[in-house]
Amino acid sequence: MGKEMKGKVVAITGGGSGIGKAMALEYAAAGADLAICGRTGEKLRLSAEQIKALGVRTYWQTVNVANIKEINSFAQNIIKNLGSLDVWVNNAGIDTPGLVGWQSVTEELWDEMMAIDLKAVFFGCQAAAKEMSHKGGVIINISSFASQIPTAGRAVYSCAKAAVNNLTKTLAGEMAPYGIRVLSIIPGYIKTEMTSEGIKTRYEELVSAIAAGRLGEAEDLTKTAVFLSGEGASYITGVNIEISGGKFSVQNPLWSWQQKEKYLRSN
């Protein structure tokens, strides 16, 4: 990859680990300066060191993304420390600890998940747009495949992520006059620290639903995010882009792999 993001400043919430960290390193490799935030200072510090090693500037701040004052402070401090803001990625999010049926959803669980998975996305967009309104920019919201096909036992999460998709389209329309593009990325099943346990116990089941015949890698998302942030995607806005290897594109993706084996044996 070249330095197509050189001179740009990219902010990523939840940038201390997982997909957020992988995205930060991808943007840095493309030449961007990075601002990352999250709840755990030590994780952010270690991520910032890896980003700096790629020869770019970085700024990090501990932030509770559900706190509007803190998210606004992060956006303002990016300008103070890095001079501008060109791309904002709403990546931070939480899920329930395992499957939680409707009978067990508490008001506290609902409020916490909606605060981080939806409220924080809206006010993150708002904070970013305030800093971008005079020169334009790009906002990318990280959604979930649960927004497409909800998961039983994850009703609150599925609901919040579906709302993120709708919010993305709405804000794309509202922010277009300011030169701000708004998109969402809908990941399929991606290999991360968070998904490692599920992969160990359900690998065959998970892959059986994916047309590509494999689970996603972090770079499947990160390289797409960098492209969407650049000039080559300047006419792309208001869309929810699924990166899932064709998950559930058909009901029986394994059939095609079986047919391939038969075809190759006979030719």
Q: What is the pLDDT of residues 212-262, one digit of tens each?
A: 999 999 999 999 999 999 999 999 999 999 999 999 999 999 999 999 989
> In DSSP terms, which residues pair with 184 in a beta bridge?
141, 240
Is the model's pLDDT at 1 over the cut of 70? no
For the chain, give the number of residues.
267
What is the mean pLDDT of the segment spanning 34-51? 97
pLDDT of residue 81: 98
The mean pLDDT of 168-186, rounded to a whole number, is 98
Residue with tokens 């969402």: 184
**Active-site residue, from 59, 157, 178, 263:** 157
Note whether 43 and 17 are within 8 A (CB). yes
d(CA 240, CA 186) in angstroms, rounded, equals 7
What pLDDT score does 193 carry?
Answer: 77
* Mean predicted confidence (pLDDT) in 99-113: 96
> To the nearest whole number, what is the mean pLDDT of the chain?
95
CB 23 within 8 A of CB 48: no
Distance, in Å, from the CA atom of 47 to the CA atom of 24, rounded to the nearest integer, reads: 8
User: Which domains, from first to last, does the chain contain?
Assistant: 9-194+215-249 (3.40.50.720)
Q: What tokens were used for 192?
A: 């991360």
Give the lowest-confidence range in 4-8, 67-71, 96-100: 96-100
Residue 109 pLDDT exceeds 80: yes
**DSSP secondary-structure letter at 39?**
S
pLDDT at 194 over 80: no
In the chain, alpha helices (H): 18-29, 41-52, 68-82, 107-114, 120-132, 155-175, 196-207, 218-229, 253-266
Neighbouring-strand partners of residue 120: none
Going by DSSP bridges, is the β-strand pair 58-62/87-90 parallel, antiparallel, or unpaired?
unpaired
Q: CA-to-CA distance for 139 and 137, rounded, in angstroms?
A: 7
Return the pLDDT at 196.
Answer: 80
The pLDDT of residue 97 is 80
Q: pLDDT > 70: what percent of the chain?
A: 99
203 in catalytic set: no
- Give the least confident one: 81-90, 156-165, 228-237, 249-258: 249-258
Does this model's pTM top 0.85? My answer is: yes
pLDDT at 11: 98
Between 194 and 243, residue with greater pLDDT? 243
